[in-house]
Every structure is written in C-alpha cells, then in structure tokens.
Structure 1
Amino acid sequence: MASSTHKLYHVHGCDSRQLLEDYFSDKAEMVFAEDSLIFPIEQLTRTFAGGHIKGDILVDLSAGSPVHHLYVACEFFEHIIVLKASDRCIMEMKKWLDTRTGAFSWEHAAKILGEIEGKRDELDDKKAKVRSAAQHVVICDFEKKNVTDPIVLPPADCIISGLLLDFICKDQDDYIRYLRKFSGLLKPGGHLILFGALDRTYAMVGKDKIHSLTYDEEFVKKALVGEGFVIDDCKVKERTAVSHHTDYKAVIFIAAHMEK
C-alpha cells in the first residue's frame, strides 16, 4: 500500500482501544514495552526530577488515550487538560478516569513507575492524583486557529505530546505548522516534551495502516529551534522490538522550553 493511501489518524479515525492493545498493553505478544512504556516513563521521571518543569497547568496532546506518562506528570502540576482529536479517544480516556467497567488497565504501567521510583506502595495514590488532576478532557481540531474553539484554554506551563505529530502530519511543513499551534498554547518560557518515532512510515492499528511522518533527529531539533524553542534534553533509543506492526528505527524524547 502506498503511503498516500494510508489512513490519517485525525481525518479517517483510529480505533483508540486497539491502539492501546497493540502498543501499550501487557499482553505477551505486545513487544513494544521497552519503547512505548519503559523509555517514556524513565525519561519523564529523570526530567521532572530536575525540578525545573512544574506549574499549574499541563496540557496532554498525545495520540490515542494513553495514561502512563500522566502517572509521572501528576506530581508536578495542579491541573491536567487532555486534548483529543476524536470522540472515540475521549470516551476511552474517560472510561479510565471515571473507573468504568471495561476501562483499559494501566496497572502494568503503574508498576513500571513504582519500580523506577522505588515507591511500589504508592501506586493507588498515583492513580488517584491523575484522576483528580485530569478533570478536563476536551475535543480539539488542529485546523482551527484556536484548536479548542469555542473553548479558550489558559496558557499552559507545559505540554506533553506523545506521537501525535507523527500521525497528524502529512509532511514536514505540517509538522512545523502544528508545532507552531502547540507553542501558542504555552506561557512564555513554557516547556514542551515530545515523544516520537524516527524514520517511520506507518503503524498498524488492528487492520488499519495509519500514516506516520518520516523524520529524523536533526529535523525535529531544527524545527523546534526554528519555532523559538531551546532544547534542554534529547535522548534517542534504537528499536529492539521485532514486529511488522510498524517500521520505526528508533524512538526519541525531547524536552525544550520557549524563549521568553
């Protein structure tokens, strides 16, 4: 299938529950745990431990309906505003937040964080903090000047975006355009944390082949600097998972802040 016929995440839709099952679950056949769970949790734990990224409002702009990164972030922000591109993702997210029957289980991610932090006895407290902080799950449209129109969000201290730019960008110009929209949600000096997959062209979600933008470390760094960000940290982990589900070569973590 040519890349032009791949489905676009935010245009054609995506089975948000299947995405979680394929890339974030604790199933034996889910081979991406090191890259999609352990690596992000490790990097966020290390980054937030520095003490300079914290504040009142965190905006989560991530593909699908993941929660694992919020386990770490909830300790450093009073309020978490979750933005989603589809009602399906919102429903999946709210299932977990509202502890509804059939919600995706994130117990395995909580245990990973507990082992990294050495605080296994505080897992229930972590979950309660995320649920308390993430009171607002809002639909967004990336083609609007104000992506949450008609709602106007207060400026954020930090944005975490996991894989979203990979999936919504058709080309590198799109990446820069959407990155500019993200930066418009931040306070002066605000922080942006990105997770992405390098040199990927697609990701299978169930039977659907989802388009992914192909880019490298140099491109994303140049894009951030071009939009007024100062890069504070960057880590790249080479892929070890063997699977035909997706074709990325490595995963990248970048922490940056806007120049005041």
Structure 2
Amino acid sequence: MMDSSPHKVYHEHDFDSRQYLEHYFSDKSDMAYGDDVLKFPIENLRHVFAVGHINGDILIDLSVSSLVHHLYSASEFFENIIVLKVNNRCIMELKRWVDDRTGAFYWGHTSALHQETEENSDQFEDKEGKLRSAIQHVVKYDLEKENMTDPLILPPADCVISASLLDYISKDQDDYIRYLRKFSGLLKPGGHLILIGSLDKTYYTVGKDKFHGFTYNEDFVRKVLVGEGFIIDYCKVKERTAVSDLTDYKAMMIIAAHKEK
C-alpha cells in the first residue's frame, strides 16, 4: 500500500542527525552510498579548491546534518571556517566531533579517502585535526530572518559551500532561488559559491521517516546561478551507482561559481 502521508521537511520537523549519518556516510560494509556521497565530492572538491585558486580569510559552510568530509580540502586553504546549522541536534553532533569527544561519529574513513586523492598520499597528515582547528565557530541560523544568524553579524565570506541543504529546504523553484540568494548575500564581491547536491530526488529516509527532497536538474541550477550574477567555473555530474531505496536521487552534482564583482 502506498504511503499517502506528506513527507517531513528538514528544517521544520525533528531531524535525527546521527541516524542520517549512519544511513548515508558511515564506514559500514553495507553502506551503499560511498562512491556517490563520499568519494565523489572529496575528489572533486580537492580539484575545485586547488585549480580554482579558492582561498581567503573566511569560509562559511551551510550544509545538512553534521557533515565534515566535504570540508577537508577547504581546510587546506582556509584557517577560519564558520559552520551554520539549523537545529540543536546537528550542532551538538558536530561539536562532539570538533571537540574530539567520546561517542562522536567516526569520520576516519573519509579523511583516509581524502588522503588517497593527494599526490603526496604517502605522507600521512592529520586531516581531521587540521579541520577541527579550522572550524572556528558553529552558529545556529534561522532561514526566515533577514539576517539568518541574528543577532550575530557574520563577516563577508570569500567562499560559501553548501552540501545538500538547498535540496532539503526548498519546496519549489521559488524557494530554491530565494534561499540561494540568502547564501549569496554572505559572500564578498567576487566570492566563490560551491554547491553539492543530488538531482531528480523526491525523498530521502531517516529512520522510519521520509523527508522531502526538491526535484531539479543541472540545467535549472545553471540558469539560477547565472540569473543571480554568478559565473560558473566548474560542474561535474555523477550518475547514481548506489543500490538502495533509502532515497531516490538519479545523480550527484557539484558546481562551483564566483560572484561577479
């Protein structure tokens, strides 16, 4: 029998950050999404940062759950990373890892994967330690406020990176454009925006709950970015290889652009 109940929405309903990580980002042998959500962004982000000359003082991360694996490359070029989170569970889960506390989610498999992508991969470096040091602040935000982090005023960022957040918070195309505009407003003139997302997704599962996924394609994102004054520097799409019904995306995408001055 088909489930006719509406899907939950990431920022409006109770979201179990830890269970989400266990489903999609763990080192378990039966975790189906390694190539798509771990290896694909790690490999491409290393290329984007190194070749795109993306660096500066401040990087702001606006991503779902308590993800860290997409920030290893960023920590090579930014000593100050500000992470914005929508709810307290995501904040607590991330801080547990940043503070290296007992019970933190294990990300060692992803730091090893990042190490493998480097030319000097035979030289061990504490990727997790470097990233922990770079994450200077973890701040709660409210999407509906004009200043999302009110009463805090964030310094303009050289780069904003967002993994899956627009996919999860946008209910339609107008939402996507409105939220993207908010993210863009965090950038300095000429600043860089990096988006990681999944194409043609309608839902994802966390525990017994199904959550809404905004359905879009590569052409839509390109048109929106250009319409918001960005110049696209890099785009890569990977067809889905995961075999699992936890979520129904068709492909993964990473796109990097810079804001016209």
In 2: Cα distance, 1:10 partner to 1:147 partner: 13
Question: Compared with structure 1, are the counterparts of its residues 116 and 168 closer, same or farther at alpha carbon in structure 2 (3 Å cutoff)?
Answer: same
Q: Could you say what secondary structure the match of 2:72 adopts?
A: helix
In 1: Cα distance, 2:87 partner to 2:11 partner: 7
Q: Could you say what secondary structure the match of 1:13 adopts?
A: coil
In 2: Cα distance, 1:121 partner to 1:97 partner: 23
Contact 1:162 1:196 in 2 (8 A): yes
Match of 2:100, as an amino acid? T
Residues 11-64 of structure 1 show CA distances to partners (whole Å, capped at 9, x for unaligned) of: 003100011111111111110000100000000011111152001000010001
Partner of 1:251: 252
Of 121, 124, 127, the match for 1:122: 124
- Give the C-alpha shift of residue 155 in structure 1: 0.2
- Give the C-alpha shift of residue 197 in structure 1: 0.4
Contact 1:111 1:120 in 2 (8 A): no
- 1:193 lines up with 2:194 in the alignment: yes
In 1: Cα distance, 2:121 partner to 2:208 partner: 39
In 1: Cα distance, 2:56 partner to 2:106 partner: 28
Most deviating of 112-121 and 26-35: 112-121
Match of 2:60, as an amino acid? V
In 2: Cα distance, 1:151 partner to 1:21 partner: 32
- Give the C-alpha shift of residue 123 in structure 1: 3.5
In 1: Cα distance, 2:186 partner to 2:94 partner: 21
Equivalent residue runs for 1:9-88 within 5 Å: 9-50=10-51, 52-88=53-89
Partner of 1:148: 149
- Give RMSD over aligned pairs: 1.1
Match of 1:122, as an amino acid? F
Q: Could you say what secondary structure the match of 2:28 adopts?
A: coil
Q: Which runs of 4+ in 1 moved over 6 A?
A: none
In 2: Cα distance, 1:44 partner to 1:120 partner: 20
Equivalent residue runs for 1:87-166 within 5 Å: 87-117=88-118, 118-124=120-126, 126-166=127-167
Question: Compared with structure 1, are the counterparts of its residues 194 and 51 closer, same or farther at alpha carbon in structure 2 (3 Å cutoff)?
Answer: closer
Residues 89-118 of structure 1 show CA distances to partners (whole Å, capped at 9, x for unaligned) of: 000000000011100011000110111114
In 2: Cα distance, 1:11 partner to 1:139 partner: 14
Q: Could you say what secondary structure the match of 1:210 adopts?
A: strand
In 2: Cα distance, 1:172 partner to 1:30 partner: 31
> How many residue pairs get matched?
258
In 2: Cα distance, 1:133 partner to 1:115 partner: 21
In 2: Cα distance, 1:195 partner to 1:43 partner: 10
Provide the identity percentage.
Answer: 66
- Give the C-alpha shift of residue 122 in structure 1: 3.0
Unaligned runs of 5+ in 1: none
Q: Could you say what secondary structure the match of 1:245 adopts?
A: coil
Match of 2:58, as an amino acid? I
